[in-house]
Amino acid sequence: MRIEGFRLLLIGGLAGLSIALLQRAFPPDDHRWAGRHVTAWRASAASSSAAVRDSAMAALAMLEPHAPETIELAAQLLGDTDSRVSTGAIRELQEAARARPASAASVQRALAWTLRTGGSRARQNAARVVGALGADAAPLLSALVDAGTDSADATRAAVATALGAVLEGAPLTSAPVRDRALSLLFQMMRDPAWPVRDAALEGLLRGATLDHRLANAIAVARMDPRTEVRERALAATDSGWR
């Protein structure tokens, strides 16, 4: 009886091990990153399926969080047409930038490249990452200014918002770069798209508090044809700006 019991236990153990090996080789659908090598997930990021690209970004963020290769891939996916994928990329870049100095440097290089060479959607999302990082993204001000001439209204608005966030948090940024950023924001106050003008005014109110041109920008915005811009200017006036 004891020998028979031992044989059953051994057979059961071997069966369990075989099942585990098979599951590792052929992971079930509900385990998105179990049993696949990171190289396979990187290849999956180029899939025509948004669901697969989303899974690839999530898997790499789990398997190789904040690694240079993961950061580079996340930057590439900022321009993805599916919001699930681009949101995952944004999250990875924000977390990597705050993780450690080495990964923060990799994020800055990736964002600078995207802001200068990416498409409109990629630039817009890169600007969102920069804005969320605030003062920590001060080295990216120059690249952010370069993206401010993008043809897409939403991208220019995102750049204006990000400029304000960085300037507010890093008031001691080198004068030439800071002057370029402020000049762009004042120029954006004349943008034909009202969301850009509104974002530019918001950026100036955050990052140009000591600039003598701000009072005039607020006065002009109070006569803007768009209600949202006028209301922001009036709110600034009520707060003490003249």
Does residue 166 belong to any structural domain of this protein? yes
Does residue 217 belong to any structural domain of this protein? no
CB-CB contact of 206 with 165 (8 Å) = yes
Does residue 205 belong to any structural domain of this protein? no
Report how many domains make up the chain. 1
Does residue 234 belong to any structural domain of this protein? no
pLDDT tens digits along 23-50: 344 343 334 445 678 899 999 999 999 9
Does residue 238 belong to any structural domain of this protein? no
- State what percent of residues in the chain have pLDDT above 70: 83
Place of tokens 């930038």: 97
Domain of residue 41, residue span:
26-194
- Would the pLDDT of 124 be above 90? yes
Tell me the CATH number at 144.
1.25.10.10
Does residue 142 belong to any structural domain of this protein? yes
pLDDT tens digits along 183-193: 999 999 999 99
Does residue 2 belong to any structural domain of this protein? no
Q: State the Cα–Cα distance between residues 194 and 111, nearest whole angstrom.
A: 26
Does residue 239 belong to any structural domain of this protein? no
